[in-house]
Amino acid sequence: MSRGRIVHWMLEELGVPYDVEWVDFGPRMKVKSYTSINPMGKVPALKHGNGIVTETAAILTYLADTFADKGLIPATGTSERAAFYRWMFFIAGPLEAATTNAFLKLEAPELTPLGTPVKGFLGYGSLDLTLNTLENHLNTNPYLCGEQFTAADIYLASHLAFGIGYTKAYPQRDTFKAYLERLNQRPAKLRAEAL
């Protein structure tokens, strides 16, 4: 149930050779040999050549860009590429924070210590605003970047499945259900799940 599954899906979509090193949750993730790779002691982490990339959104973007010929990132300088960055950061920021707070049942006060409205202070505003933003976009686009399936869709589908199916942080919406049904049938997704 780690975010490493998201990277597996991405690697299967790319169809490039890769090796997996499984790291058990708990103390093994905190030993020096692993924290030298990811000081946070978390997975996933990617080593490619001499470079190391951590953080799921960064790994997905790095892989999509490195293997751009595979078509999982829109062309540079296009409005679709702009959408790719927008949604990658939206998922890593507002969606992640809103989902986590909903799952943990963290209630924000109405005002910050500065006396300003909390909804304006929080990057996501509210869970409903975050989910409505996604839903409205997906109601008029088959994928986050329009007609092209990208690494951002891998990231979003994984987040939605986690927030709806696993943590039940928020209820299913018809738009999300249809989106997940399509993406969960991708051959690369099915191969990644079989690992």
Q: Does domain 79-186 have CATH number 1.10.10.10?
A: no
How high is the pLDDT of residue 1?
67
Give the other-Cβ count within 10 Å of 132's Cβ.
13
Give the other-Cβ count within 10 Å of 165's Cβ.
10
Give yes or no for a contact between 5 and 185, defined as CB atoms under 8 angstroms apart: no
pLDDT(168) > 70: yes
Cα–Cα distance for residue pair 17/2, rounded to 1 Å:
21
User: In the predicted model, what is the mean pLDDT of residues 146-153?
Assistant: 98
Handedness of CA 94, 95, 98, 104 (dihedral sign): negative
CA geometry: angle 105, 111, 114, nearest 5 deg: 130
pLDDT(27) > 80: yes
pLDDT(143) > 90: yes
Please state the domain extents for the chain: 4-70, 79-186
pLDDT(48) > 70: yes
CATH topology of domain 4-70: Glutaredoxin (3.40.30)
DSSP 164: I
User: Does the N-terminal peptide bond of residue 44 adopt cis geometry, omega within 30 degrees of 0?
Assistant: yes
Separation in Å, CA 128 to CA 133, 138, 169, 180: 8, 15, 12, 19
- Taking only the tens place, the pLDDT of each residue in 89-104 is 999 999 999 999 999 9
**pTM of the predicted structure, to 2 decimals:** 0.94
